[in-house]
Structure 1
Amino acid sequence: MNRKILFLVVVVLTSMTLISGCGFKDIDKRGFVVAVGVDGTKNKKKPYRLTLKLAVPTGTFKQSPKPTYAYLSIESATLAEGIRILKTHTDKELDFAHAKVIVLGESILERDMKETFDIFLRRRDFQGIAWIAVGEPSAEGILKTNPTTDLPGSNALFNIFSNEGTESAYIVTTYLYDFSRRLFEAGLDPILPIIRTTEKTNEYRTNQAIVFKDDKKQLKLNTEDTKFYNILSENETKADIEVSKKELLFAIAANNIKVNYKILTPANKQPVLKMNIDIQGIVEESTERVTPEKLKDYSRDASEVAQKRFTHFLKLLQENEVDPLGFGLRYKATRLHNRDTEAEWQRIYPQLKFDVNAKVKVKSPGVIE
């Protein structure tokens, strides 16, 4: 027994001499990448322009009232090559554990998204919960914009998409894992928020979105359509609805929104998508005095306007042959699957009739009385 123990100790000690040191590096030896930007170039040999935004640690808040960032940019044949070459441009080891935002420039949108995003899906140091967005006109310009409201220890882009800062029905939030799912899943098209900057005020504007089809840019949603997408996808339960009827103009602050729908395909009849939308809210602004006796009239007028606008939005998606709401996925999930299910949906979607029933209930005229 003693010989066996001695032999085991010798083997363990010998093995320890063969083990190299661990890959741990002190925090002052790391460069923390907080955002990644990808733009396209006209150089066929180097089609990518990669930009990394690194957080630079500073002193106390009083010493540095504004956050400090460093930027690394390079043109390369692949994104992997670009990252490895950028490591030679700094004395720090690039750490992507805090890279929570990936921005795509307009110049890269016409290319194959699956090819562009391949590295982000394969490398384990890119988080699946990173946010994806489109930067206009370029990703590099977006990353190098430092808003006046940005403070040490925070990041403006993080606050926009995390709901920890601003909350808005006009902001679409798309995670890397969800974007990759939409890229490969038939019946659910990818959608990304658009980030723009203002030259004078140096601020972000994030109130539009873009829908992709077959990995390429297809439909750009304006501000109102972006809000309707968030409502119908139930990503946002708070929104505003403006109603204009003759000389009356009033706005409703909706604080409770529920959406449900089903796809009906009766034999020898036109397929129908029946959607019910229930909205509850209060009057936020009005051009005339609002009394409790008029709430039913306000509710009726708001229901008519909401029904027309949501129907128009659904037809807009249909006309452009895009499906960010996942109607095709719902259809396949509620039918007996066969090899022709996807082809069936492709035939049905252009013929689909939208039967929208929007019910808006105004609960209060506000707190003026």
Structure 2
Amino acid sequence: MKQFKLIVSLLLSIVLVIGCADPKILERVGIVTLIGYDAGEEDKVTVTSVVRQVNPDYQSTVNTHTETEATGEKTRLKVNLESSKKIVAGQMRVVLFGEDIAKEGLDEMLHALIMNSEISTSIYVAVVEDSAQTLIEGQYKNVTDIGQHIYGIIEHNIEQQNAVSSTLHEVVRDFYSPLRDPLIPIVKKNGENIEISGTALFHKGAMVGEFPIEDTLYLMMVRGKFRHGTLELELPSEGLSAKDDLETIPISIDSIKSYRQMKLVDPAVPEFDLKVIVQCRLLEIHSSISTADRTIVEKLEKGINKILESEISRIVNKSIELHSDHFGFGEKYRADTRNAKLTEEEWHEIYKNLKVNVKVQSTIVRDGVFE
């Protein structure tokens, strides 16, 4: 009997707790799916919101609202004043930052986002080439919900490793790390389409440069494990083909898998050895070249190594020139150096003299569709 009374009391408590919760009935709220920030005049911020509303017949409409105020919260208040429904951000999927505001610095914007308990840290963050407002308010064929559309583009390309992962959690983690800077994908409007066009580099909270989309594969190789990818290269024909009219041999490799090994070899410089181990499949090559000959395959691997080493060195050196440490050299330096209690300023003073020796070890594990 006592056990029965206990169960009844527990159920009543649960009912009371649920009854006290703030109900957000779908018909009574406007759901923000995407927000874009741009630099406004006189140190103000222009916020463009994509809001989905559902009517009593469960038919939904998508509207955009643009306001310019001193804070993002004040713009949301103005949108609420213009709406017959309460605006909520619990289903937001993407935050976009216009290029101008990204170059000014995202510290305040990111701080406001993480302070909002409605917003999940799993939402995606991206920089817009030019203006976020222009991209959001653009006309696109067969797109009814621009917020969901942009979310799908970013999520798909991150899953396929065509773009760096940029959840709010990851971006904020790197922003507030004294020894690491974030990378954020760049999206742009291209006619009636939206596409990912590159990757933005940051230093001290501000965008300081970018890499084109073609460099994403090299970025992913250096940042850590890379699961799959495709790459087209041109190798010198010497020693590969008997045809005299071929100066270079175009090849295509795919199923690229890689991981990195980073070693601090001289803390005084500082100097690192960066080794990238690559496995790939030879997808396409000129018919005059026989891949049944192991000597030819080894020459192909050496040619691939040389090109990848050159490209990765270029990526690393550009990052050093822009003072953006998004590869984690600072964290590795602190972990491997005894009593290295570095501040952000101290590390970036050291970082500008960083020397990185890049070594690539590639292996062609398959030839075409056959083992």
TM-score (norm 1): 0.82
In structure 2, how many angstroms separate the alpha carbons of the residues matched to 1:340 and 1:192? 25
1:271 counterpart residue number: 270
1:6 counterpart residue number: none
Letter of the 1:284 partner, please give it: L
Letter of the 2:34 partner, please give it: A
Letter of the 2:50 partner, please give it: K
Letter of the 2:308 partner, please give it: A
In structure 1, how many angstroms separate the alpha carbons of the residues matched to 2:278 and 2:341? 39
Q: How many residues of Structure 1 are paired with residues of Structure 2 in the alignment?
A: 340
Deviations 1:286-336 (A, max 9, x none): 344553323222212111111111112111111222111121122123333
Residue 40 of structure 2 corresponds to residue 50 of structure 1:
no
Residue 240 of structure 2 corresponds to residue 240 of structure 1:
no
RMSD of Structure 2 on Structure 1 (CA): 3.0
Deviations 1:106-165 (A, max 9, x none): 2212334212222101110111111111112211222234654657899222222323x7
Q: 2:319 aligns with which of 309, 317, 320?
A: 317
CA contact (8 A) 2:50 2:147 kept: no
Q: Do the aligned partners of residues 135 and 26 (structure 1) sit closer, same or farther apart at CA in structure 2, a change above 3 Å counting?
A: same
Residue 256 of structure 2 corresponds to residue 255 of structure 1:
yes
Counterpart mapping for 1:100-249 below 5 A:
100-145=93-138, 147-148=140-141, 150=143, 155-163=148-156, 167-199=159-191, 202-234=192-224, 236-245=226-235, 246-249=247-250
Q: Percent identity?
A: 18
1:284 counterpart residue number: 283
Q: 2:338 aligns with which of 336, 339, 350?
A: 336
Q: Do the aligned partners of residues 55 and 284 (structure 1) sit closer, same or farther apart at CA in structure 2, a change above 3 Å counting?
A: farther
Letter of the 2:207 partner, please give it: K
In structure 2, how many angstroms separate the alpha carbons of the residues matched to 1:223 and 1:289? 32
CA contact (8 A) 2:93 2:148 kept: no
Deviation at 1:360, TM superposition (A): 1.2
Deviations 1:219-244 (A, max 9, x none): 11122333311221136421223321
Q: Do the aligned partners of residues 57 and 287 (structure 1) sit closer, same or farther apart at CA in structure 2, a change above 3 Å counting?
A: farther
Deviations 1:203-232 (A, max 9, x none): 112030111112222111122333311221
In structure 1, how many angstroms separate the alpha carbons of the residues matched to 2:194 and 2:165? 15
Letter of the 2:223 partner, please give it: S
Letter of the 2:33 partner, please give it: V
Deviation at 1:337, TM superposition (A): 3.6
Q: Do the aligned partners of residues 146 and 298 (structure 1) sit closer, same or farther apart at CA in structure 2, a change above 3 Å counting?
A: farther
Q: Do the aligned partners of residues 284 and 213 (structure 1) sit closer, same or farther apart at CA in structure 2, a change above 3 Å counting?
A: same
CA contact (8 A) 1:241 1:254 kept: no
Return 5+ residue gaps in structure 1 as ranges: 1-15
Q: What is the SS of the residue equivalent to 1:126? A: coil
1:11 counterpart residue number: none
Q: What is the SS of the residue equivalent to 2:103? A: coil
2:348 counterpart residue number: 346
Letter of the 2:359 partner, please give it: N
Q: 1:307 aligns with which of 292, 297, 309?
A: 309
Q: Do the aligned partners of residues 359 and 179 (structure 1) sit closer, same or farther apart at CA in structure 2, a change above 3 Å counting?
A: same
Deviation at 1:28, TM superposition (A): 0.8
Q: Do the aligned partners of residues 354 and 142 (structure 1) sit closer, same or farther apart at CA in structure 2, a change above 3 Å counting?
A: same
Counterpart mapping for 1:19-58 below 5 A:
22-44=21-43, 47-57=44-54
Deviation at 1:281, TM superposition (A): 1.1
Q: What is the SS of the residue equivalent to 1:238? A: coil
Deviation at 1:342, TM superposition (A): 5.2
Return 5+ residue gaps in structure 2 as ranges: 1-15, 236-246
1:9 counterpart residue number: none
Q: Do the aligned partners of residues 365 and 151 (structure 1) sit closer, same or farther apart at CA in structure 2, a change above 3 Å counting?
A: farther
In structure 1, how many angstroms separate the alpha carbons of the residues matched to 2:145 and 2:233? 42
2:8 counterpart residue number: none
Residue 87 of structure 2 corresponds to residue 94 of structure 1:
yes
CA contact (8 A) 1:72 1:89 kept: no
In structure 1, how many angstroms separate the alpha carbons of the residues matched to 2:257 and 2:26? 45
Q: What is the SS of the residue equivalent to 2:121? A: coil
CA contact (8 A) 1:292 1:364 kept: no
Which range moved further: 50-59 or 325-334? 50-59
Q: Do the aligned partners of residues 353 and 111 (structure 1) sit closer, same or farther apart at CA in structure 2, a change above 3 Å counting?
A: closer
CA contact (8 A) 1:169 1:231 kept: no
